[in-house]
Amino acid sequence: MNSARFVVTGTDTGIGKTIFAAALAQAIGASYWKPIQAGLEDGSDSQTVAAIGGVPPARILPEAWRLATPASPHLAAEIDGVTIDPVALEPPEVAGPLVIEGAGGLMVPIDRRTLMIDLFARWGLPVILCARTTLGTINHSLLSLAALKARGMRVHGIAFVGEAHADNEATIAAMSGVRALGRLSIAELTPTGLAAAFAEGFDVGDFQ
């Protein structure tokens, strides 16, 4: 049985990592966990994963913290009157594979002392970095990968999200020395459409 566990993070917020996480969880039959959800008015990322990835409710794990304010977790928690304890955040034990999605990028604060990357480093799980393909991605991607490498973290690979840009994708992989896992072309955001896009852009064997 595939019992792989991955942390999915991004070079920035809003670059498609939730869509990729949904596609990955669907493809490998994984449970999905978003430790901290900040912003609930437009629905949660867990709801998005269930809707577009077709991941059944039994495999959508409850968030450790659900914050109403759409902001960085440290600020959202302060506005909501909540104290997040990063030490208490540990990956849940599940039967089978697990996909964990971070909030925003690597340098997003959880509280006034702890960054997302600090949490991921403590867990020691392989990280998949989601990156857009458009202008600016080389800078953001190389900075993110350098930060991961500086902490000695395991980088499973880069997952690009968006329309093809062969030179950007090749340049990031070559200059970082990190393999490009593939590219997810966002088209039809339905379970069927997402499955087809993942199968076209990735080799599921790379996630076993």
Q: Is 86 within 8 Å of 111 (Cβ atoms)?
A: yes
Q: Identify the pLDDT of residue 208.
A: 85
Q: Identify the pLDDT of residue 2.
A: 61
28-47 pLDDT, tens per residue? Answer: 999 999 999 998 988 899 99
Q: Which of 11, 18, 30, 34 is catalytic?
A: 34
User: The domain that contains 149 carries what CATH number?
Assistant: 3.40.50.300
Domain count, the chain: 1
Strand ranges inside the chain, DSSP E: 5-10, 31-33, 36-38, 60-61, 65-67, 98-105, 127-132, 155-161, 180-184
169-199 pLDDT, tens per residue? Answer: 999 999 999 999 999 998 778 999 999 999 9
81: domain range? 5-207
- Is the model's pTM score more than 0.85? yes
Q: Respond yes or no: is residue 34 known to be catalytic.
A: yes
Positions in the chain short of pLDDT 70 = 1-2
CA 60 to chain CA centroid, nearest Å: 15
